[in-house]
Chain A
Amino acid sequence: MKSLAELAAIRDKMKNKVALREESGETRIVVGMATCGIAAGARPVLSTFVEEVDKAGLNGSVAVTQTGCIGLCRYEPIVEVLRAGEEKVTYIKMTPEKALEVMEKHIKGGKPVVEYTIGNIEK
C-alpha cells in the first residue's frame, strides 16, 4: 500500500458489500417469494433488483429482501417498495424488464411507476 488512494479504492469497493449488513436501509424492496411467486418468475425479478442496487452503489440505503406469501397469488410476482415516510407501493406481475424501470424511475427517481401498481390494475 503506497498511497491513500489505494486504500480508498479498496474501501469504496468493500463499503457497499459490508453495508448490506446494516439495518438502516431507508428503502426496502420486498419480493414475494413463496411457492407461487417462484413459479411465476419472482427469482429473476429479485436478481435484477439485487444486481441493479449493487451496480448503482446503493447497498447502504436500499435493502432487497424476500417475503413469503403475500396472499395475492394471482398477481405474482409481487414486489413491494417501502420508503421511509412514504406509503407502501405494491407492484404486481413483475418481470425483470419492469424491475429495471422501477429501479430507474422509483428507486432512483423517487416516482412510483403507477401503471404497474396494484391499484392501477385492480381498477
Chain B
Amino acid sequence: MIRSHVLICGGTGCTSSGSVAVREAMAKELELAGLSDEVKIVQTGCFGLCANGPIMIIYPEGTFYSHVKVDDVKEIVEEHLLKGRLVERLLHKETDEGVTETVHSLSDTKFYKKQHRVALRNCGVINPESIDEYIGTDGYQALGKVLTEMKPQEVIDTILASGLRGRGGAGFPTGRKWQFAADQPAGKKYVVCNADEGDPGAFMDRSVLEGDPHAVLEAMAIAGYAIGADEGYIYVRAEYPIAVQRLTIAINQAREYGLLGKDIFGTGFNFDITLRLGAGAFVCGEETALLASIEGKRGEPHPRPPFPAVKGLFGKPTIINNVETLANIAQIINKGADWFASMGTEKSKGTKVFALGGKITNTGLVEIPMGTTLREIIEDIGGGIPNGKKFKAAQTGGPSGGCIPASLIDTPIDYDNLLAIGSMMGSGGLIVMDEDNCMVDIAKFFLEFTVDESCGKCVPCRTGTRRLLEILEKITSGNGEMEDLDKLEELCNYIKSTSLCGLGQTAPNPVVSTLRYFRDEYIAHIVDKKCPAGVCKKLLHYHIDAEKCRGCTACARQCPTNAISGAVRTPHTIDPAKCIKCGACMATCKFGAIYKQ
C-alpha cells in the first residue's frame, strides 16, 4: 500500500542537472530499504525552479528538497522515508532581503505564494507519462462534457465569454479566432498547435508540453469539435526532445483509450493528432511560415489576408493556437467562463506564464494573474535583485518587445499596458536587468538575433535590421554621432511599417524602447564616449589609481602586451595604446588600485 509519493522533476532543467540518475538511485535505495511497496516514485514536469534542480518533493508532507544529488538519496531514504526525519541540509533555502531561510514545503516559498497556477496546474504534480494521472486530476472531463452536453457554438461562446486571448504573442481573442474558422463552410478543417517557442530565454511552452501534454491534446480535440475539424497538428521544435517524447507517449495513450481517433465517447466525433518537428528557425513560429513548413515547403511567411482561419493548412480553414493558450481551454470548460474571467484585468483575463531570468534571485517559471505588477513579480516572487544591485529595467517580449524602466515598475502587467509603454507581452520571456546592464548593448543583442533570424524574403527586414545593427555597433564602439539617433528612429519606423511579417514589424522595438527610456545612455556613448554601465568594451579603459598603487609590479608582469610601466614602489601607469583590455591586471592587483571606466 502506497503511503508516500516521491516526486522527482523530469523537466529539461532538472534532467540536465542530473535528475535521471537521482531517480534511478532512489529506486535502488527504496528496494534496499524494503520500501518499494510503500513509496512510489513519480516523475513530473517542471516545478519552475529549475536553477535549484534537481528538485524532489515528498508527499504527504510536501517536503521540498532542492539540489538533490545521487549521494544524498541514501540519506533521504533512511532519514525521511524510513524514520520520518527531515533532511535539514537539503531543504530548500530561500533568500529574502539578505536573510536566508529554510523552507519546508514548496507552497511555503515566496516564489510560489503569489503565483496562481492554471496553465501550469499539473506541472510538477502529475506524472506526464501517465494518462491515468491526468484523468485523476479531471483530465478529459471537459472533452466529455463538450461532446455530450454542448453544441459547437456553445463551446465557442464559452471561450469568447471567458475573455481568453492568445498567449503566443499578439493576444488575439481565442473565441473570435475559433468563430472565424467555424463560420467557414463545412468540410476539411484543421487545428494546429504552435509549439515552436523560439524566443531566446523562453521555455514556458516547453514546460507545459513536458509537464502536462494531455492538456494540450484535450484542448485541441475540443477546438476541433468547436470548429468542425477532425485533424490536428502539433508543430514542435526538434530541440525539445523531452517534450517530443512525452507528446508521443501521450498521443499513443490517448489513442489507446479512444480519447483520440474515431467515435470518441461513442458520439461519432473523430479527431486525431500528428506531430511535426520544426528545425528551429525563429520565423517558423510565425503562423503562415509555420503552415508552409508543415506542408513541407520552405518556412517563409506569406501575406495575410487570406487569414489561416479562412485559407490555412493545405488551403483549408485552420486555427493556430499557442501551447499555453490551449492549456487553459479544458479548465474554462470545466470551471466556466466566469471563473476564468474573474482573474486578471478588464481586457486581459486569466493568468500568464513568464520565464523569469537575468539579474534576479529566483530564476524560473512563474504563473501570475494578469494585472500583477512588475514590482510584485520582481520583489516578491523573484526575490529581488541579487548582490544588492539596483533594478534598472525589465525586458518582455524578447526580440519583438521592449524594456520597462524602473520608473514604471508599478505597472500592472497585461496586454494593453505593455503595449502602451512600448513593450509587449510576447510569449512570456521576462529578463531582469540591473545597473550593470548597458541598454544600448541590450538593444544590440536583440538586433543581432533578428538579423540572424530574418528569413530574407523582404528588403526592409533583411537590409533594414542589418543597417540598424551597424549603427548600434558604431555607437557602442565610440564612433557614434548625434545624427545617428535620428537615423535610428527613421529606420525603425520604416522597418515597422513596411515589413511583411511580424518578425520584421516588431524587430525595431528593442531599439525604439531603449531610445525612449534610456536616451541619455545613448548620448553618453556618443558624446562622452563612455558606457555608463561599463559593458561596451571598446569604450572602456583601464586605469591605475596612483593613490592606491604600491608599485608592487604584479600587474606589469601579468600584462600580455607590456602595456603597464613604472618603477618598483612607485605608482604604475597603463598605456591605452597598447592595452587590449584583457582585465588580467585588474584581477591581479591585491590593492584594488586598478579600475575600468
Chain A residues packing against B (C-beta within 8 Å): 1-4, 7, 10-11, 13-18, 20-21, 23, 25, 28, 31-35, 38, 46-47, 50-51, 54, 63-69
Given pairs A1-B259, A3-B266, 9 additional interface contacts (CB within 8 A): A1-B265, A7-B135, A14-B135, A16-B136, A17-B133, A50-B1, A50-B2, A63-B60, A68-B84
Instruction: Give the CA-CA distance A23 to B138 in the complex, in Å.
Output: 18
Instruction: Give the CA-CA distance A34 to B82 in the complex, in Å.
Output: 8
The 0/1 profile, CB within 8 Å of A marked 1, for residues 130-147 of chain B is 001101111111001000
Instruction: Give the CA-CA distance A35 to B3 in the complex, in Å.
Output: 19
Residues in A neighbouring B266, C-beta threshold 8 A:
2-3
Q: Does B102 belong to the interface (CB within 8 Å)?
A: no
Q: Does B105 belong to the interface (CB within 8 Å)?
A: yes
Residues in B neighbouring A32, C-beta threshold 8 A:
84
CB contact under 8 A between A20 and B59, given known A11-B138, A68-B84: yes
A7 is contacted by which of B84, B85, B144 (Cβ under 8 Å)? B144
Residues in A neighbouring B304, C-beta threshold 8 A:
none
Q: Does B257 belong to the interface (CB within 8 Å)?
A: yes
Shortest Cβ distance from residue B159 to the other chain A in the assembled complex, whole angstroms? 22
- Interface pair B141/A11, CB less than 8 Å apart: yes
CB contact under 8 A between A11 and B136, given known A3-B265, A47-B1: yes
10 A-B Cβ contacts within 8 A?
A: A1-B257, A1-B258, A7-B135, A10-B132, A11-B139, A15-B137, A21-B42, A23-B107, A47-B3, A65-B84
- Interface pair B135/A64, CB less than 8 Å apart: no
- Interface pair A31/B84, CB less than 8 Å apart: yes
Interface size class of B (residues with CB under 8 A): 35 or more
CB contact under 8 A between A18 and B136, given known A51-B1, A54-B1: yes
- Interface pair B85/A34, CB less than 8 Å apart: yes
Interface centre among A18, A51, A65, A66 (most CB of B within 10 A): A18
The 0/1 profile, CB within 8 Å of A marked 1, for residues 81-99 of chain B is 0111100000000000000
Residues in B neighbouring A11, C-beta threshold 8 A:
135-136, 138-139, 141
Residues 241-288 (chain B) with a chain A CB within 8 angstroms: 257-259, 263-266
B133 is contacted by which of A18, A46, A51 (Cβ under 8 Å)? A18
Shortest Cβ distance from residue A67 to the other chain B in the assembled complex, whole angstroms? 5
- Interface pair A38/B133, CB less than 8 Å apart: no
Residues in A neighbouring B8, C-beta threshold 8 A:
none
Residues 41-80 (chain B) with a chain A CB within 8 angstroms: 42, 59-62
B83 is contacted by which of A23, A35, A63 (Cβ under 8 Å)? A35
Residues 321-364 (chain B) with a chain A CB within 8 angstroms: none
Instruction: Give the CA-CA distance A23 to B57 in the complex, in Å.
Output: 11
- Interface pair A34/B135, CB less than 8 Å apart: no
Residues in B neighbouring A4, C-beta threshold 8 A:
144, 148, 265
- Interface pair A46/B3, CB less than 8 Å apart: yes
Instruction: Give the CA-CA distance A46 to B37 in the complex, in Å.
Output: 13
Interface centre among A4, A16, A25 (most CB of B within 10 A): A4
10 nearest CB pairs, A to B: A14-B136, A66-B84, A68-B85, A63-B60, A50-B3, A1-B258, A18-B136, A23-B62, A33-B84, A2-B266
Q: Does B507 belong to the interface (CB within 8 Å)?
A: no
Residues in A neighbouring B258, C-beta threshold 8 A:
1-2
Residues in A neighbouring B432, C-beta threshold 8 A:
none
Residue of A nearest to B107 (CB): A23
CB contact under 8 A between A67 and B105, given known A10-B132, A54-B1: no
Interface centre among A7, A32, A64 (most CB of B within 10 A): A7
Interface centre among B82, B125, B263 (most CB of A within 10 A): B82
Shortest Cβ distance from residue A95 to the other chain B in the assembled complex, whole angstroms? 18
Residues in A neighbouring B105, C-beta threshold 8 A:
23
Instruction: Give the CA-CA distance A111 to B15 in the complex, in Å.
Output: 48
CB contact under 8 A between A65 and B82, given known A1-B259, A17-B136: no
Instruction: Give the CA-CA distance A50 to B60 in the complex, in Å.
Output: 11
- Interface pair A7/B140, CB less than 8 Å apart: yes
Instruction: Give the CA-CA distance A112 to B148 in the complex, in Å.
Output: 46
- Interface pair B137/A64, CB less than 8 Å apart: no
CB contact under 8 A between A14 and B133, given known A4-B148, A33-B83, A66-B84: yes
The 0/1 profile, CB within 8 Å of A marked 1, for residues 7-42 of chain B is 100000000000000000000000000000010001
Interface centre among A1, A38, A69 (most CB of B within 10 A): A1
Instruction: Give the CA-CA distance A6 to B584 in the complex, in Å.
Output: 70
Instruction: Give the CA-CA distance A18 to B264 in the complex, in Å.
Output: 25
Shortest Cβ distance from residue B88 to the other chain A in the assembled complex, whole angstroms? 11
Shortest Cβ distance from residue B190 to the other chain A in the assembled complex, whole angstroms? 23
Q: Does B538 belong to the interface (CB within 8 Å)?
A: no
Q: Does B503 belong to the interface (CB within 8 Å)?
A: no
Instruction: Give the CA-CA distance A78 to B140 in the complex, in Å.
Output: 43
Residue of A nearest to B263 (CB): A2
Residues in B neighbouring A13, C-beta threshold 8 A:
132, 136
Instruction: Give the CA-CA distance A35 to B83 in the complex, in Å.
Output: 7
Instruction: Give the CA-CA distance A69 to B137 in the complex, in Å.
Output: 35
